[in-house]
Amino acid sequence: NNRTFTMIKPDATQKGHTGGIIDMIIKAGFTIKAMKWTKLTKEQAGAFYEVHKERPFYGELVNFMSSGPIVAAVLEKENAVADFRKLIGATDPAKADEGTIRKLFAASVGENAVHGSDSDENAAIEGSFFFSGLELF
């Protein structure tokens, strides 16, 4: 499929990396279909990350993701989900390849600058969490 969903996380927006990250996304060949600057409540962050609710870091993740502004976006490109995960690099920036967004902008496994959907199905679910069909261009 050809779409994925991303968030620029609060660590990156607060350090002023929003523009640099969007620039890398566009230069990698992704088209922006929808984008918004917003801030999640704890309840919204908890709902978005519900799949991780049994993981030991869930509380930390929800606190972090509601700690500051985020940028949510739907992106289009052939092979979008896999190509975007390649562009952002490993979850832990210490293990991320050179030139990836997380290698360049992330500080730790928790505060890792960006989210990228892990499947076509989740990309559609996550995109719908933030955007209606009328907001996709």
Nearer to ligand GTP by Cβ, of 11 and 33: the residue is: 11
Among the listed residues 94, 110, 90, 135, the one whose alpha carbon sits nearest the alpha carbon of residue 49: 110
* DSSP secondary structure of the chain: --EEEEEE-HHHHHTT-HHHHHHHHHHTTPEEEEEEEE---HHHHHHHTGGGTTSTTHHHHHHHHTSS-EEEEEEE-TTHHHHHHHHH--SSGGGSPTTSHHHHH--SSSS-SEEE-SSHHHHHHHHHHH--GGG--
Nearer to ligand GTP by Cβ, of 118 and 134: the residue is: 118
Which residues from 103-132 bind Mg ion, rule CB under 5 A?
118
Which residues are at the interface with ligand GTP (CB under 6 A)?
Answer: 52, 57, 60-61, 91, 109-110, 112, 115-116, 118
115 is catalytic: yes
Q: Which does 112 bind (CB under 5 to 8 A by kind): Mg ion, ligand GTP, none?
A: ligand GTP
Q: Which does 110 bind (CB under 5 to 8 A by kind): ligand GTP, Mg ion, none?
A: ligand GTP
Nearer to ligand GTP by Cβ, of 17 and 115: the residue is: 115
Active-site residue identified among 62, 115, 116, 131:
115
Q: Which does 109 bind (CB under 5 to 8 A by kind): Mg ion, ligand GTP, none?
A: ligand GTP
